[in-house]
Structure 1
Amino acid sequence: MKHLVLPLLPLFMAFRLGAQSAPFVPDHGITSPFHQAHVGEILFSAQALPATAYVASAFAPSQVFTPKSSLFMTVFLGTSLTNALHALAPDATAEELTQRGNFQFTFLVDQQPVYVSNLHPGAPYAALKHAETVWHKPLVNNETATSWWSQSLWNRFLAAGGEKALRTGPHLLRVEIRPYLHTTRLLVGPPLAAGQVTLVVKPPVIDPNTIRLRSLAPYPGLPVSRAHLDTAKIKALKANIEAGVFKAITSVVVLKQGQLLVEEYFQGATRATRHDPRSVGKSFASTLTGLAIADGFLRNEFQPLRDFYDMPQYPHYTPAKARITLSELLTMRSALAGNDEEADSPGNEEHMYPTSDWVRFALSLPVDSVKPRGQWAYFTAGAILLGDVLEHRVPGGLEAYADRRLFRPLGITDYRWQYTPQHVANTAGGVQLRALDFAKYGLLYQNGGRWQGQQLLPAAWVAKTLSHQVALPHRVKEYYGYLFWNKTYHVQGKSYETYYCAGNGGNTIFVFKDQPLVVVVTATAYGASNAHAQVDKMMTDFILPAVLGTRPRKPGRAAAPPRPRASQRRYVR
């Protein structure tokens, strides 16, 4: 899209000097002498810093940069973003400015432009756009598990050429920040802040000879497996994860024939850690829908929205919208104008989260007049509607029903829901479990809905769920079931079809069709463009080759055979 860069240098200089006497909206102003001395600058550090630590020695002009390094940026502005946007459109309200504008980031490596990104208007929040004049955010954070928009920005930069540009050796990374605003065209103002840091990039050192695998112990409902395992492959995988080649992985669990074969944790996680797998939780909405039908609280998945809502009261009413079925929400084929993969889509999830009523947001969407009937599009708000239907149809509400009919029968007692603004359990992706409990959930599906001899979930529902309900557009031989994905891995000349739950960051529960395997990977690479690609690499190069053999393990042997030869494998997307 063509854009207009406005000649606002005099105004920018006023921002730098902190001389704007009457800002459009009140902001924090100049917060300290250090801030005053560095207005218009971006400074970089290798660790998170509290505001009290903003001194010259805390920021470095260069740092050694490995896959395990962190990189934080601290931005010193002369005025807030909203005030800068006001200069681009003086007649717009503050609300209009925050809804249509944000920061534009430009990344340069060795003085060559690599990536330009206009941040989605939804992040940071409007209140921060109004007030903040100093902010500190991670670009890379290997210290703790975080999921800031700035980390997603960095991952997009890497995918757009940054990873290639930051090859081994010293490189000058420069970041520039400008305000942008969408009106009838894209308006871009002058730089609000800029800064650079020299990154001395070093490759990881990987030595599987130093790796020891975790000793396995039974878990309620999951005995230890004695099946064959190529432990050299799992050691090499663990070495790559610990070296930061595969990033932000927190656990890897493998069940074979319903027994525990691999269990490894990273980033400080343990067997007791509850993981946040984001949209993996959508699959639980499918499970609970099947249970509600089996229990008679829903007739079937073909019931239309008009059975549950007074559809004419919502904007953009049409009979076609009222006829949308639960099945169409389960398969993401509804006629609603919602596509999370298109930023401008009315129903994009980023437009939903700031609203006070997510259900009303979804039901108020227009019907997409362009999309062919039945075409698949990823649509988070549809999963919210399923959860709301369940909340009002099952006795005691969705959360109590899930505990009674799913979690307790599986022996899952330590879990946590996130909630919608109406305090309904968030079926868009808000359930946190231990990695082994996610494995139990996958095993339930691999066993056709049976758990410890009892038919917990109807086999017919499992069969519908794990089926090719719709082909995924722009993907070869990949499909979608009832809030489950499907694809086929190719390893050593053979094909292995799997259904799987997937969530932002690389979180996955794999249920293999023709192999007695359930694989769980949890991760915190939220927003990373290669988060799922690296899990695919882990599966094809390490996990599946390690567990597909048939030679039995000798009774009583721990999962630690002779050491493998050292490997220097490095994963590059």
Structure 2
Amino acid sequence: MKKLILTLLVLFPVCHATYGQTKDLVQTDGFVNPLHQANVGRIAFLPDNIPIEQLKESDFLTSFELKPVSDLSIRPFLANSITNYLHQLAPDVPADEIITKGNYQFSFYVDGKLIYKENLHHGAGLKKHTTTTFRVPITTSKGEDWWAVYMFNRFLLRGGEDALTDGTHQLKIEMRPYINLGQEVKVGDLIALGDIKLIIKTPELTREQIAVQPIQPNSGWELSKAAVDTQKIEEMNRLIALNKLKEITSVVVIKDGKLLLEEYFNKADRNTLHDTRSVGKSFASAMMGIAIQEGYIKDENQTLDKFYDLKQYANYSTKKDSVKIKDLLRMSSAFNGSDSNMESPGNEEYMYPTANWVKFGLDLGMDDKKISGNQWDYFTVGVVLLGDILNKSVPESLEKYADKKLFSPLGITRYEWQYTPQKVANTAGGLRMSALDYAKFGQLYQNKGKWNGKQVMSQQWVAKTFTKYLPIPGRTNEYYGYLFWNKTYTINGKDYETFYCAGNGGSKIFIFKDIPLTIVVTAKAYNRPYGHPQVDKMMQEYILPAVVR
């Protein structure tokens, strides 16, 4: 066995000398079985999730055909845990603190060329003190929610897809530990590596997969006779069929109030109820406007203390009393909550496991660095509070009120709410409906609140909603209204400004400001790094050029 290990260390030249110089900080699982011991320093490629106790060396892949949708996993066989590897780099940092400062560094090579390197976020991974081998998928057909899948997607987006052209390529992955010490990021020696031949074949597509889809009867919309650049739409359809544009489920275009395009992909059809996640937040904005119009809520300048006795909740301050409805509509309240910061006490991920989401929100403290109304910071919990305010203010319940005042007038009869733990319609997101019904919602705003001659929502509320109140930090020329986003596309030198709803996965409803155009895109690329950028690409390069000629 000693001879076998020495042979493998020659084949997989991983440096362990450095890691033997400092005593381990924690006790690990060690070598979990002889296969692990025999392959220390190797990253094995596997076709599926094979338990370690059933795994054989004959299961290790040397080649793999990487299809648009496939299942490929890796299993690193390590000599130590990440905690101990980091301890070698920073011996003075305690165990519980060290794992918040570092993790594994992955490097991806194609045909010997470094394509992408990532210092994995410290929150990703398994039991960092003890784990010495683990399996993670890097591609999946099962929708597995793993950090490694997201990382591999980032590799593809940032050069990997361009490098993996048709043919056979050598993919190599290297692992090292890294630690961020503030002024310095230290990277350790190689701890594992593996390579595999990837076979890339572009699938043959049928004419039916590429062609503009004919609109079937009984859509409920008058059909448009406006011109469409079919070549642009066919090229988009080709990329969707090849999974170059991933997990897109529908595209609907309404021009001059008429149905121009209706396309479905990835097993979706006209009857599919799409989970568009935070697109549902914009419905909360609509319901607030209707409730104000009917006098159930005075106006959006009302403050939280008019709806709650905030002294009954934790972290009371007069600053909390003065948060206005419009601060929550504009994502500009001073609550100590930010969905863009996992360390924030009010991050939505900390809300979901709790028994009472409203109490979670009202218990939050206020951020000393924020002034309500002055800055934009995405805050899902605030929209949950808006939903609760609506639910307690309108007749019966928010769910029944929305059905009577919004959905029924639009002829929307098939939809599904998600609910909070208190069984209130969830305004944070998850409202499911068909693509054509989402188009009705968008077109209501395009019509300035009117539908079939009836003023469902006041024109004044639409105007307030479609006002650029605050810039989006880190984005050029992008703004936020009342739970609607704003941006401008430039096509052939001409600007097209749009307000839009957006949800995790890439789903969007676009309402264009100066042209009679409403566009719905639904997608289920949840938490994937390409979810929103690929929809921007679709709009910029295919959909808008095809329909604004």
Name the aligned partner's letter for residue 424 of structure 2.
V
Match of 2:153 among 145, 152, 155: 155
Name the aligned partner's letter for residue 245 of structure 1: K
Give the Å deviation of 1:265: 1.5
Cα 1:408–1:269 change in 2 (3 A) is same
- Cα offset for 1:131? 11
TM superposition shift of 1:287: 1.2
Offset from partner CA, 1:127-168 (integer Å, 9 cap, x none):
x88999986544333x35555444333334445665566677
Provide the rounded CA distance (Å) in 2 between the counterparts of 1:531 and 1:370.
31
Which residue of structure 2 aligns with residue 115 of structure 1? 117
Label 1:227 to 1:113 Cα distance change in 2 as closer, same or farther (>3 A): closer
**Equivalents in 2 of 1:454, 1:48: separation in Å?**
56
Deviations 1:55-77 (A, max 9, x none): 55554233233555553345678
Q: Where in structure 2 are the equivalents of 1:14-413 lying within 5 Å?
A: 15-18=29-32, 42-45=43-46, 56=57, 58-65=59-66, 67-73=68-74, 104=104, 106-109=106-109, 110=112, 112=114, 114-119=116-121, 121=123, 137-141=136-140, 143-145=141-143, 147-158=145-156, 170-174=169-173, 176=175, 194=192, 196-200=194-198, 202=200, 204=202, 211-371=210-370, 374-413=374-413
Letter in structure 2 aligned against 1:443: Q
Cα 1:226–1:97 change in 2 (3 A) is same
Q: Deviations over 1:513-547 (max 9, x none)?
A: 12221111111222233322221221122111211
Moved more, 371-380 or 463-472: 371-380
Show CA shifts across 1:215-238 (max 9, x none).
212445323322222222211110
For the residues of structure 2 that align with 1:398 and 1:39, how far apart are their CA atoms? 58
Q: 2:443 & 2:65 partners in 1: Cα distance?
A: 44
The alpha carbon displacement at 1:310 in A equals: 1.9
Taking structure 1 as reference, are residues 40 and 496 closer, same or farther at Cα in structure 2, changes over 3 Å only? same
Cα gap change, 1:99/1:84 in structure 2, threshold over 3 Å: closer, same or farther? closer
Paired letter, 1:196: G
Contact 1:218 1:224 in 2 (8 A): no
Counterparts of 1:40 and 1:420, CA distance in 2 = 47
For the 8 Å contact 1:206–1:243, the answer to whether it is kept is no
Partner Cα separation in structure 2 for residue 84 and residue 422 of structure 1: 46
Query: What residue identity is the alignment partner of 1:434?
Result: S
RMSD of aligned Cα (Å): 4.2
**Counterpart amino acid of 2:150?**
S
**CA 1:473 to 1:8, structure 2 compared with 1: closer, same or farther past 3 Å?**
same
Counterparts of 2:154 and 2:422, CA distance in 1: 33
Letter in structure 2 aligned against 1:17: F
Look up the SS of the partner of 2:285 in the other structure. Answer: helix
The equivalent residue for 2:12 is none
Structure-2 residue corresponding to 1:427 = 427
Q: Quote the Cα distance in structure 2 between the aligned partners of 1:384 and 1:345.
A: 17
Aligned pair count reads 526
Q: Which amino acid aligns with 1:200?
A: L
1:418 match = 418
SS of corresponding position for 2:282: helix
Q: Which amino acid aligns with 2:455?
A: Q
Amino acid at match of 1:470: L
2:52 and 2:250 mapped to 1: Cα distance? 33
Decide whether aligned partners of structure 1 residues 132 and 215 sit closer, same or farther in structure 2, where only a CA change above 3 A counts: farther
Q: CA deviation at 1:486?
A: 0.9
**Do the aligned partners of 1:220 and 1:411 also contact (CA within 8 Å) in 2?**
no
C-alpha change, 1:196 and 1:427, in structure 2 (3 Å) is farther
Secondary structure (helix, strand or coil) at the match of 1:15 reads: coil
Q: 2:63 is matched by which residue type in structure 1?
A: S
The answer to whether the 8 Å contact 1:216/1:263 transfers is yes
Cα deviation for residue 446 of structure 1 reads: 0.9
1:391 CA drift (Å): 2.6
Contact 2:41–2:192, Cα closer than 8 Å, also in 1? yes
Alpha-carbon distance between aligned partners in 2 of 1:526 and 1:309, rounded to the nearest angstrom: 34
Counterpart of 2:267, as a letter, is: G
Secondary structure of the structure 1 residue equivalent to 2:382: helix
Q: Is the 8 A contact 1:5 1:189 kept in 2?
A: no
Q: Tell me, yes or no, if the aligned pair for 2:449 and 2:459 is still in contact at 8 Å.
A: yes
Task: Specify whether residues 307 and 15 from structure 1 end up closer, same or farther in structure 2 by C-alpha distance, changes over 3 A only.
Answer: same
How many Å apart are 1:275 and its aligned residue? 1.6
* Other-structure match for 1:546: 546
5+ long unaligned stretches in structure 2: 1-17
In 2, distance between residues paired with 1:352 and 1:323?
Answer: 22
Structure 2 distance, partners of 1:34, 1:6, is 22
What SS class does the counterpart of residue 476 from structure 1 fall into? coil
Matched to 1:115, the amino acid is: K
Letter in 2 for 1:155: N
Question: How many Å separate the matches in 1 of 2:409 and 2:297?
Answer: 21
Q: Give the conservation status (yes or no) of the 8 Å contact 1:167–1:201.
A: no
Cα deviation code 1:28-83 (max 9, x no counterpart): xx8xx978987886543456779998555554233233555553345678999999
Q: How far 1:491 sits from its partner (Å)?
A: 0.8
Once the two structures are superposed, what CA deviation does each residue of 1:467-526 show, in whole Å capped at 9, x if it has no partner?
Answer: 212222333322211000111111122111111111122211111112221111111222
CA distance in 2, matches of 1:258, 1:279: 25
Residues 328-365 of structure 1: CA distance to partner in whole angstroms, max 9, x if unpaired? 01001111122222333332333333444332332233
Paired amino acid for 2:247:
A
TM-score, with normalisation over the residues of structure 2?
0.80
Work out the CA distance in 2 between the residues paired with 1:310 and 1:229.
56
Q: What is the CA–CA distance in structure 2 between the aligned matches of 1:539 and 1:343, rounded to whole Å? A: 30
- Given the two structures, how large is their TM-score scaled by the length of structure 1? 0.77
Q: Give the conservation status (yes or no) of the 8 Å contact 2:83–2:99.
A: no
Please tell me the residue identity of whatever aligns with 1:61: T
Change (3 A) 1:291 1:53: farther
Amino acid of the residue matched to residue 311 of structure 1? Answer: L
Alpha-carbon contact 2:212-2:234 (below 8 Å) kept: yes
Structure-2 separation of matches of 1:536 and 1:117: 27
What does 1:470-485 align with in structure 2 at a 5 Å threshold? 470-485=470-485
Shift of 1:177: 8.0
- 8 Å CA contact 1:43–1:74 kept in 2: the answer is yes
Flag the 1:356–1:75 CA change in 2: closer, same or farther, 3 A.
farther
Between the aligned partners of 1:71 and 1:9, the Cα distance in structure 2 is 36
On the 8 A contact 1:6/1:190 being kept in 2, the answer is no
The residue number in structure 1 matching 2:526 is 526
Give, as a single letter, the amino acid of the residue that structure 1 aligns with 2:469: Q
* Secondary structure of residue in 1 paired with 2:250: strand
Greater RCO (CA < 8 Å, at least 6 residues apart): 1
> Hey, what does 1:568 align to over in structure 2?
none
